[in-house]
Amino acid sequence: MSESCDLVVVGAGPAGMAAAATALDGGLRVTLVDSGAAPGGQFWRHPPLFARETVSTADLHHELSTYRALCATLSAHERTGRLALLLNHHVWTTARDEDGFAVHAVDRGGAPEERPVVLRAPALLVATGAYDRQLPFPGWDLPGVLTAGGLQSLLKGGGVVAGSRVVLGGTGPFLLPVAAALAARGAQVAAVCEAAAPSAWLRHPAALLRNPAKWAEGARYAGTLARHRVPVRTRTAIVGAEGEGRVAVVRTASLDADGRPVPGTERRIEADTVGVGWGFVPQLDLLLPLGCDLVDAGDGTMAAAVDDGQRTTAPGVYTAGETCGVGGAALAVSEGRVAAVSVLTDLSAPGRPGTRPAAERRAVARHRAFARAMAQAHPLPPAWPAWLTDDTTICRCEEVTAGAVRSACADDSAADHRQVKQLTRAGMGWCQGRMCGPAVHGLVARAEPYAPSERLIATPVTLGALANCGESTSDHT
């Protein structure tokens, strides 16, 4: 085994790239590991290298100057040998060892078999982002029903428009760029159904005034939707989907103040594709086994608890980006830089970071304030379970229905989603509750934020990789 690095950064999205670049500029040796084929994460997702000459997705991206600058910094340090960039590596667990941390991953970069890899460093920075939160409705398991994030990934990753006539629904500003991109690429967006009311933002004028780029961006999306005559229906939700073998009709309804469908307002819209997004859930799988404390993120989820230097409550563990609560790419970049400065300070690194910590902390505070306002302006409808029939599938992996979950809670047998899992198998399938966990939690304990279960294995791995993990080495450790 060769000499270990100073810092392992897991996740090469905006937060991870910014953290790695700052740490490298400060003199550390860094290993940056990501499951994707290129750095950028979901926000800066690009087509594969072999397809970039024929597929252009530059118009779908924002802040590309920041991305290119980070890529240039990382490439320069990679050439000097200070950076080990490990792509197509899936981290499945993290653990403490004698000298710091052991990060266990599998290399899925094209070899016939997965190769187990262990990365070791005295400091660990987790920047694994978040994933789409879904609220089920009758018919959401039909082919053609996707997450809003899935629709955007198809667009950014391959220029693929998933359908010809699309209906989007959910809540939050993320619906707007997805709708605008689909419309600009030729899809007919039949409706955008926003469950919240725009007037909710009037209660947060300071957040808007301090972040003019945010509302300016929203205005641009609104202009695109207006040019393509896309109707945006507020206080409205998708409450059902129908079709034989594939979605063909979407049912929408106006919502009352609690989120219940208003009688007599239901509409039927023909569509071959549906995109639904109810915000995001922080990806905390690698932090929980290390004992990192969580806090209420203010949007119905839990996030990692950090100090003003992005240190978690577990010594030597840092985190940045959506793991600390969903707030966008600009926030993630600033948090990544702040976290890296903390690592440099704590390890007494010899160099100086090419960033201004005080300015970045102010940026974090400003963006976090906007994120809190966004969560309050776009809450989950409290009465969303009223949309569900008893035969609506909640857990698609194990085919558990809403009726089964309600029965498990009827006599107080289940107090949370973990006990529902034990009684009904909801969450025991391939996704391990990532898709159904928030929904099951909402049916059981609506008032409490959703906290994911601790998983010692964060991503599916082969038995061979597990058997060899203790003896695994890496040329980069």
pLDDT in tens, 304-345: 999 999 999 999 999 999 999 999 999 999 999 999 999 999
Residue 58: per-residue pLDDT: 74
Percent of the chain at pLDDT exceeding 90: 67
Residue 412: per-residue pLDDT: 67
Residue 197: per-residue pLDDT: 92
pLDDT in tens, 186-232: 999 999 999 999 888 888 888 888 888 887 888 889 899 999 999 99
For residue 274, list its beta bridge partners. 145, 167
pLDDT in tens, 409-443: 887 677 777 788 888 898 888 888 888 888 888 88
Q: Quick check: 39 pLDDT over 70? A: yes
pLDDT in tens, 371-386: 999 999 999 999 999 9
Of 210 and 294, the structure prediction assigns the larger pLDDT to 294
Q: Quick check: 475 pLDDT over 80? A: no
Residue 366: per-residue pLDDT: 93
d(CA 225, CA 125): 39
Residue 138: per-residue pLDDT: 96
Among candidate residues 134, 210, 77, 115, the one with its CA nearest the CA of residue 440: 134
> Rounded to the nearest 10 degrees, what angle do helices 402-410 and 437-444 cross at?
40
Percent of the chain at pLDDT exceeding 70: 94
Q: Quick check: 353 pLDDT over 80? A: no
- Could you tell me if residue 92 is left (phi over 0), alpha (psi between -120 and 50 degrees) or otherwise beta? alpha
d(CA 233, CA 217): 19
Residue 477: per-residue pLDDT: 42
For the record, the structure tokens of 48 come out as 């594969």
In the predicted model, what is the mean pLDDT of the chain? 90
Q: Quick check: 104 pLDDT over 50? A: yes
Handedness of CA 11, 17, 23, 29 (dihedral sign): positive
Residue 255: per-residue pLDDT: 96
Residue 471: per-residue pLDDT: 53
Residue 420 CA from chain centroid, whole number: 24
Burial class (CB in 10 A: 0-12, 13-18, 19+), 267: middle
135-139, 156-160, 314-318: least confidently modelled range: 156-160
Q: Confidence class of residue 2 from pLDDT cuts 50, 70 and 90?
A: very low
Average pLDDT over residues 17-23: 97
Which letter, b or e, does each residue of 64-86 get, where b requires 16 or more Cβ atoms within 10 Å of its Cβ?
A: eebbeebbebbeebeeeebbbbb
Residue 467: per-residue pLDDT: 75
Q: Quick check: 356 pLDDT over 90? A: no
Note if the pTM is more than 0.85: yes
Residue 472: per-residue pLDDT: 46
Q: Quick check: 115 pLDDT over 70? A: yes
Q: Quick check: 118 pLDDT over 50? A: yes
Contacts of 334 (CB under 8 A, 6+ apart): 18, 360, 361, 363, 364, 367
